[in-house]
């Protein structure tokens, strides 16, 4: 479907993409991944024809339609519904022509073509797509200018999906979506009938949508079959192979150098030594796997405070005289890890601002520890950084009175050491700017860290580093994110913001996803209760049976959750073993005592055994998870 041959792109005198070649399978769903700054968006723009490569060729079947979202959000008086309908240009053109055409023969051709492209179903299809992305019926018919930039970008995404191109190019499509819309988009893309090239850093999104991973690293492209988790395993195997090949090559190099040194001066062996020297000169070094030592998050831990940090008692919060959230009864303790769930527009950010003391309660009471320090991260802070100043200048202003060593120490916690500390912000990648914003808000070791979509500019590896840093941080965390993996790994308490209030959600992220997809037993019971309203005794018996069945399902579900949790703990233990084996292979000096001294053969054998146990644990977890899903289905 899509062939990339020898693509080279240079920007600002630097080679971003270097002789990259790949052939993508027809109707494939390909996830394009790579570190921040690797050139993913540049490659997508080359494929879309928005940027000309310095050399190479992009080829597609003749007549194939390509779809790509422009950077500018749509605006004007048109409604989202009208904008999405207009995206099918053929339908719009034929419909307009049919209204003015007086030639009966041509009119028949037009109607025949409209029937062929199912133009009659277009309005309902447009409405379904908009509804899936969070637009209710009223919002679908409001003017675009009344929406924020993020919601207008959703309209652009809806229009692109509606147009059904033969090659669908998506660059971080989930950045402006909430979790509910992401779940809908996953389902839509899984059944998309043409080729998809998707740039994303969300592990779960990639696992659930794509069937190939296209990895861009060092300017080169490598295509891997399967989702992201399978790619990670294949990449680890490839790293081990490369490390082994480098070791063999280094041994050969040393052998040749030793032969040349010992035999060059002797007449009887001079020719052989010269031959070995030529062989040595032709020995091309095997490139090391690229690693970024600046990938760093390290939140300073606060001093201890007595619980609670914050208490809300029948609090009400909003803007002006209009409340957004009411009846808020929440308590935050120093060790809380809370994820705020709910659709965009329901008030998650409003609640976060209340907890950060950026908004005052309109009614009720809010009590906070007098000594509590709060670090509040939003995307606006990333966008508002002065692009002409350096990280060192930004931090010096924020840490007035601190010594230069303390300022540089805080920057170093987040990877801004050496030249990075004095690089202009405008020259930093999006991920580096997000790291700088996090460094700035944690400069005084906050007791409460509030993160509103912290992962939008971070690649997969950076997200994993952020997860590890949050888990090591001893303060309280409140996080808003559509990245399920991030929420799963960092939050142990879920709060659902919905219906004008916020309440604890009883369950895990998987339970919330089932709730969103209307698979939860409570939803079924509510529906049954509505069906039986005003009916006689038979309905009462049914409700009794339903409660009994629900209790049995809960009991069975608890057992399955224990099995799944046990398998998950085993997976974590085995993954830690796998990481230790990889470190021992790549850097023997850092090997754990139990692995020190083992040969590469022994290490590879142990790695294969560990991988086999990981597969067994994954199978056990999957079996328990599927059985649990069957209960709530």
Q: What rounded mean pLDDT belongs to the chain?
A: 84
pLDDT of residue 156: 92
- The per-residue pLDDT for range 582-615, each reduced to its tens digit, is 778 777 777 788 888 788 888 888 888 888 888 8
Residue 103 near residue 90 (C-beta atoms within 8 A): no
C-alpha span between 422 and 394 (Å, rounded): 10
C-alpha span between 442 and 358 (Å, rounded): 17
Residue 140 near residue 127 (C-beta atoms within 8 A): yes
pLDDT-based confidence at residue 326 (cuts at 50, 70, 90): very high
pLDDT-based confidence at residue 549 (cuts at 50, 70, 90): low
Look at 132-136, 190-194, 457-461 and tell me which has the smallest mean pLDDT.
457-461
Cβ-based neighbour number of residue 403 at 10 Å: 9
- The per-residue pLDDT for range 407-424, each reduced to its tens digit, is 999 999 998 988 989 999
pLDDT of residue 552: 60
Give the mean model confidence (pLDDT) for residues 500-522: 80
pLDDT of residue 584: 80
C-alpha span between 254 and 76 (Å, rounded): 69
Look at 38-42, 351-355, 496-500, 608-612 and tell me which has the smallest mean pLDDT.
608-612
Three-state SS for 70?
Answer: coil
* Residue closest to 196 by CA, chosen among 4, 411, 44, 401: 44
Asked if the model's pLDDT at residue 545 lies above 80, the reply is no
Cα angle at 326 between 482 and 305, to 5 degrees? 70
pLDDT of residue 543: 35
Look at 19-28, 289-298, 362-371 and tell me which has the smallest mean pLDDT.
289-298
Q: Listing from the earlier edge strand, what are the strands of the sheet with 363-368?
A: 322-332, 310-319, 363-368
C-alpha span between 56 and 49 (Å, rounded): 13
C-alpha span between 205 and 405 (Å, rounded): 41
Residue whose token pair is 């209204």: 99
Give the mean model confidence (pLDDT) for residues 388-414: 94
Helices (H), 49-173: 80-86, 89-100, 104-116, 122-132, 137-140, 149-163
pLDDT of residue 410: 95
Please report the beta strands in 139-258, taking only residues with DSSP state E, as ranges in sequence order: 167-171, 195-199, 212-217, 220-225
Cα atoms in the Cβ-side hemisphere of radius 13 Å centred on 256: 16
pTM over 0.75: no
Angle separating helix axes 537-586 and 521-531, nearest 10 degrees: 170
The answer to whether the peptide bond before residue 308 is cis (omega within 30 degrees of 0) is: yes
Residue whose token pair is 């919060």: 317
């Amino acid at each position: 479907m899509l062939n990339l041959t020898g693509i080279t792109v240079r920007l600002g005198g630097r080679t971003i993409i270097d002789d990259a070649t790949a052939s993508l399978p027809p109707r494939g769903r390909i996830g394009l991944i790579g570190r921040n700054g690797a050139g993913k968006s540049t490659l997508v723009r080359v494929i879309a024809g928005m940027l000309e490569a310095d050399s190479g060729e992009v080829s597609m079947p003749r007549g194939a339609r390509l779809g790509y979202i422009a950077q500018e959000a749509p605006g004007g008086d048109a409604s989202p519904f009208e904008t999405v309908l207009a995206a099918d240009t053929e339908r719009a053109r034929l419909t307009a022509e049919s209204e003015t055409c007086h030639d009966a023969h041509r009119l028949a051709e037009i109607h025949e073509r409209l029937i062929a492209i199912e133009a009659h179903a277009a309005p309902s299809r447009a409405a379904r797509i908009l509804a899936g992305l969070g637009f209710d019926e009223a919002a679908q018919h409001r003017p675009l200018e009344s929406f924020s930039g993020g919601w207008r970008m959703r309209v652009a995404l809806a229009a692109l999906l509606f147009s059904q191109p033969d090659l669908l190019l998506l660059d971080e499509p989930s950045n402006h979506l909430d979790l509910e819309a992401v779940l809908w988009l996953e389902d839509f893309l899984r059944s998309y009938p043409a080729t998809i090239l998707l740039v994303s850093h969300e592990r779960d999104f990639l696992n659930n949508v794509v069937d190939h991973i296209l990895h861009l690293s060092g300017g080169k492209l490598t295509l891997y079959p399967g989702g992201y988790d399978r790619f990670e395993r294949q990449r680890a195997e490839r790293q081990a192979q490369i490390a082994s090949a480098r070791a063999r090559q280094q041994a050969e190099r040393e052998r040749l150098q030793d032969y040349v040194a010992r035999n060059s001066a002797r007449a009887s062996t001079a020719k052989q030594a010269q031959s070995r020297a030529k062989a040595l000169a032709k020995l091309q070094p095997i490139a090391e796997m690229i690693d970024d030592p600046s990938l760093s998050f390290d939140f300073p831990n606060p001093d201890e405070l007595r619980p609670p940090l914050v208490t809300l008692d029948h609090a009400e919060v909003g803007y002006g005289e209009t409340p957004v959230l009411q009846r808020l009864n929440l308590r935050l303790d120093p060790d809380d890890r809370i994820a705020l769930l709910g659709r965009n527009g329901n008030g998650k950010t409003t609640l976060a601002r209340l907890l950060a003391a950026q908004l005052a309660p309109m009614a009720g009471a809010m009590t906070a520890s007098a000594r509590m320090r709060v670090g509040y991260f939003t995307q606006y802070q990333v966008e508002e950084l002065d692009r002409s100043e350096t990280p060192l200048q930004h931090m010096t202003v924020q840490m007035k009175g601190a010594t230069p060593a303390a300022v540089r120490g805080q920057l170093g916690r987040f990877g801004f050491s050496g030249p990075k500390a004095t690089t202009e912000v405008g020259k930093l990648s999006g991920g580096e700017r997000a790291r700088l914003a996090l460094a700035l808000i944690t400069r005084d070791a906050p007791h409460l860290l509030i993160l509103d979509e912290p992962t939008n500019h971070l690649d997969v590896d950076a997200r994993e580093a952020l997860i590890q840093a949050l888990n090591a941080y001893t303060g309280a965390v409140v996080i808003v994110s559509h990245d399920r993996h991030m929420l799963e790994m960092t939050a142990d308490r879920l709060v659902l913001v919905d219906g004008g209030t916020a309440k604890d959600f009883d369950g895990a992220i998987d339970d919330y996803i089932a709730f969103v997809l209307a698979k939860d037993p409570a939803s079924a019971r509510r529906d049954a209760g509505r069906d039986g309203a005003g009916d006689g005794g038979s309905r009462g018996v049914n409700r009794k049976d339903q409660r009994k069945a629900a209790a049995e399902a809960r009991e069975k579900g608890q057992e399955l959750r224990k099995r799944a949790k046990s398998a998950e703990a085993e997976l974590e233990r085995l993954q830690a073993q796998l990481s230790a084996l990889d470190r021992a292979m790549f850097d023997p000096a850092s090997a754990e005592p139990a692995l020190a001294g083992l040969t590469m053969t022994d290490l590879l054998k142990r790695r294969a055994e560990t991988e086999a146990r990981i597969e067994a644990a994954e199978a056990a977890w999957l079996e328990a998870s599927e059985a649990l899903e069957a209960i709530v289905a």
